[in-house]
Amino acid sequence: MGMRKVAIVGAGITKFVRRAQETGPELAYQASKMALDSCGLKLKDIEMITLGTAPDAFDGVHMKGEYLLGGAGGNKKPYIRNFVGGGTGVFAPIHGWMHVASGMCDLCMVVCEEKMSSCHPHPQGAFLTIFDHTTEQPIKPTLIWIFALEMKRYMETYGLKPEDVARVAVKNKKNALDHPSAQVAEELTVEDIVNSEVLADPVHRLDISPASDGAAAVILASEHVAKRLTDKPVWIEGVGWNLDTAYWATKDLYYPRYVEKAARMAYDMAGIKEPHKEIQVAEPYDPFDYKELHHMEGLLLCERGEAARLTAEGYTARDGNLPICPSGGALGVGNPIAATGLMKVIEIFLQLRGEAGKRQVPGNPRVGLAQAWGDLMQVGTVIVLKR
């Protein structure tokens, strides 16, 4: 395609917390500084910066890209914010990849930040305005409703019980015990999940990731620069993104076709023909437990309707055939929206380098995938990494 190879060469991340003492720019600075230090670079070495951050309404700060500029190291540099709702955290490194693959620069820093705790009484309230202002907002919907509607449709289609879905939350919250950034890591049982407070049946409180504050950053480099900086570059081999209609109630919610389209775009580019065999570790977006199953299917990592059974059989455990969310995911590490997607990219980066510590999956994986998802059940963003 005439594009240059791009590697991830460094990464940084903050702890994910409720009510961070730090401001948004301070969060961004912490992650960015750690990413630069991790590969021995200074800010002056970075030519361009891309920033991902989700709705301005969380922070109550308009022009959040500009607000975070200094913390993301962007002063007097070619700097740009991108935003596709919950899909932002994986789109941001895709955006950075464009900068380097195109030959525009050799070193690009990608920063993702979210501070949800500024919004009261609950950041969920900020989601009201994502619904159509005339035909939907007067019904006073919440985002939890459309997750519940989609989860119900998905469960009904395949005859799944709440327990089948809850196993994802149990697995991810447990995996997160080994993640230094984790906010809600815990050893729980399926009963704990299904007996937790009902928010909008079938959604219970522990089916959902928490509201979080946090930031993450990665450094992208062109081939010749990457080889100078590290012995273990991790290459971005495939990228894909896709958006479906904003009339979300007019498509069948049981299957995320737009995620499949994004995945196929990334697989084609990476030369992956049989994703369920070739992808060795994956971090699909799991803001709700059923979403991990939904996304495994959309990403063609298993047959439709099979993800719950595979989860029950331990196939997706850290030591299973296809480890899914070994980081602990949004359900365990926490969900500062844009930072979560980049956390997932960082997890695959570390897994492929064999540097994930206690979270390391066995078998020296060479190929991994991270995916994010968002907007009104609307966007899929996918990145395929190889070492």
Partner 1 sequence: MKIDKVPVKGLSSKEYEKALKISWDPVLKYNWDNGKAIGRYLHELKKGRIIARVCDKCNRIMIPPRMFCEYCFRPTDRWQYVKDTGKVNTFAVSRVYWNAQRIPQGEPPIIPAVIEIDGASEGMGLLHLLGNVEPEDIKIGMKVRAVWKPENERTGSITDILYFEPVREKNPPKAKPAAKRR
- Residue 20 makes contact with partner 1 by CB under 8 A: yes
Cα gap 367→346, rounded to integer Å: 14
User: How many residues in total does the chain contain?
Assistant: 387
- Residue 121 makes contact with partner 1 by CB under 8 A: yes
Nearest approach, Cβ of residue 273 and partner 1 (Å): 30
Cα gap 372→179, rounded to integer Å: 19
Nearest approach, Cβ of residue 133 and partner 1 (Å): 5
The structure tokens listed for 160 are: 């799944």
Give the β-pairing of 79-82 and 379-386: unpaired
- The nearer residue to partner 1, 310 or 344, going by C-beta atoms, is 344
The structure tokens listed for 353 are: 């380098």
Q: What is the DSSP letter of 334?
A: -
Phi, psi of 134 (to 5 degrees): -100, -40
- The nearer residue to partner 1, 140 or 273, going by C-beta atoms, is 140
- Segment lying near partner 1 (by CB under 8 A), choices 14-22, 279-287, 317-325, 363-371: 14-22
Give the β-pairing of 79-82 and 48-52: parallel
Q: Which of 200, 235, 265, 309 binds partner 1 (CB under 8 A)?
A: 200
- Residue 361 makes contact with partner 1 by CB under 8 A: no
Q: What residue type is 90 in one-letter code?
A: V
- Residue 195 makes contact with partner 1 by CB under 8 A: no
- Residue 257 makes contact with partner 1 by CB under 8 A: no
- Segment lying near partner 1 (by CB under 8 A), choices 16-24, 276-284, 312-320, 378-386: 16-24
Phi-psi region of 60 (alpha: psi -120 to 50; beta: other; left: phi over 0): left
End-to-end Cα, the chain, rounded Å: 20
- Residue 77 makes contact with partner 1 by CB under 8 A: no
Cα gap 363→354, rounded to integer Å: 10
Site string for partner 1, 46-75 (x = CB under 8 A): --------------x---------------
Name residues whose C-beta falls within 8 Å of residue 121's C-beta, 6 or more positions apart in sequence.
Answer: none
Q: Which of 6, 7, 24, 30 binds partner 1 (CB under 8 A)?
A: 30
- The nearer residue to partner 1, 73 or 275, going by C-beta atoms, is 73
Positive or negative: CA dihedral 133, 139, 141, 145: negative
- Residue 78 makes contact with partner 1 by CB under 8 A: no
Q: Are 344 and 230 in contact (CB under 8 A)?
A: no
Nearest approach, Cβ of residue 206 and partner 1 (Å): 15
Name residues whose C-beta falls within 8 Å of residue 138's C-beta, 6 or more positions apart in sequence.
Answer: none
- The nearer residue to partner 1, 216 or 239, going by C-beta atoms, is 216
Q: Are 225 and 41 in contact (CB under 8 A)?
A: no
- The nearer residue to partner 1, 215 or 382, going by C-beta atoms, is 215
* CB neighbour burial string for 348-387, b if at least 16 within 10 angstroms, e if fewer: bbbbbbeebeebbbeeebebbbbbbbbbbbbbbbbbbbbb
Q: Which of 164, 207, 213, 286 binds partner 1 (CB under 8 A)?
A: 213
- Residue 11 makes contact with partner 1 by CB under 8 A: yes
- Residue 138 makes contact with partner 1 by CB under 8 A: yes
Give the β-pairing of 107-115 and 213-222: antiparallel
- The nearer residue to partner 1, 115 or 386, going by C-beta atoms, is 115
The structure tokens listed for 259 are: 């995620």
Nearest approach, Cβ of residue 16 and partner 1 (Å): 8
* Interface with partner 1 (CB under 8 A): 10-15, 17-22, 27, 30, 34, 38-39, 60, 120-122, 124-125, 128, 131-136, 138-142, 144-146, 148-153, 156, 180-181, 183, 197-203, 213-215, 245, 247, 249-253, 346, 350, 353, 355, 357
